[in-house]
Amino acid sequence: MSERKDLGRAAQSAYLVVVLFLLIFPLLVLIPMSLGSSTTIAAIPQQWSLRWYDEVLGSPEWRSAFGWSMLTATAASIISTSMGYLGAAAMVRSKSRLQPLLQILILSPMMVPAVVVALATYLLSTSLGLDGGWVAISIGQSLLGLPVAALVIAASLRGIDETLLRAAVSLGARDRQVFLTVVLPMALHGILSAFGLSFLIAFDEVLIAIFLTTPSLQTLPVRIYQAVTYELTPAVAVVSVLLMAIVCAGMIIGGLYNWAMKRMVPATSQS
């Protein structure tokens, strides 16, 4: 019986390893793919070179696309995070009967299909006269990140023990002091995660950017989309590797931050 059980467990573990491998392997293949020298993409190039890194990093088109994406995604994630904080505070503390309605409203940009949000942003930008501007793209992208930001910040606000707030108030702290010295430091992890996640969502967003793109305003995903459709050169692999490096850096920073917080802050306040 137990032998059979062990066998079953082993088979399951092996299966998990296979699934995880299949998840990560295609992304790892991008690295050799980006190191070829010919114009056709091969998983294992015949000749290794950094040619395409030179081309991408030296290309004004890719550089401007990256710049536009940094701009729209930064603006979008600032909006998402601040609006998400307001939403989270309302979701966590409100005892109103309208609370479920509020929650649905805050989360609705995530439930509405992205293409509908994109069309909405397109109409908005024409009726506000922002036609094709990066501001409209940022606003649309911030909508997509807002629900995620609100959820992540709400989770961190829920983790704050109300006794601490009460203690601060009873010791004479004003509202602003309670916020700056108690709430903000304890919710900082959530706020930074919300910022990071909404940045990635905005940075990866295609449809809003496609609807509002102009020849002089192309975000990175629009550029990648066009390159995959019309060119399919190792340049796309190079950009992919650079994007993965950003994600990797973000995950490492997040991990280190967590680790550092766990060492600095005693376990009691981490409940």
Q: How far is the CB of 188 from other proteins (least distance, A)?
A: 13
- Smallest Cα–Cα separation from 63: which of 220, 193, 178? 220
What CA–CA distance (Å, rounded) separates 13 from 63? 44
What CA–CA distance (Å, rounded) separates 230 from 55? 17
Work out the burial of residue 118: count CB atoms within 10 Å of its CB; fewer than 13 is exposed, 13-18 middle, 19 or more buried: buried
Nearer to other proteins, 229 or 271 (CB): 229
Nearer to other proteins, 71 or 89 (CB): 89
Q: How far is the CB of 58 from other proteins (least distance, A)?
A: 21
Q: How far is the CB of 51 from other proteins (least distance, A)?
A: 18
Nearer to other proteins, 50 or 228 (CB): 228
- Smallest Cα–Cα separation from 142: which of 227, 213, 71? 71
Q: How far is the CB of 113 from other proteins (least distance, A)?
A: 3
Nearer to other proteins, 63 or 166 (CB): 166
Contacts of 200 (CB under 8 A, 6+ apart): 247, 250
Q: How far is the CB of 262 from other proteins (least distance, A)?
A: 13
Nearer to other proteins, 12 or 269 (CB): 12
Token representation of residue 210: 């496609």
Q: How far is the CB of 73 from other proteins (least distance, A)?
A: 12
Q: Are 70 and 219 in contact (CB under 8 A)?
A: no
Q: How far is the CB of 2 from other proteins (least distance, A)?
A: 11
Nearer to other proteins, 41 or 70 (CB): 41
Q: How far is the CB of 48 from other proteins (least distance, A)?
A: 17
Contacts of 169 (CB under 8 A, 6+ apart): 178
C-alpha distances in angstroms, 200 versus 44, 80, 163, 220, 244?
29, 12, 35, 12, 11
The DSSP code sequence of 133-164 is: -HHHHHHHHHHHHHHHHHHHHHHHHHTS-HHH
Nearer to other proteins, 22 or 264 (CB): 22
Token representation of residue 35: 């190191």
What CA–CA distance (Å, rounded) separates 13 from 31? 27
Nearer to other proteins, 27 or 188 (CB): 27
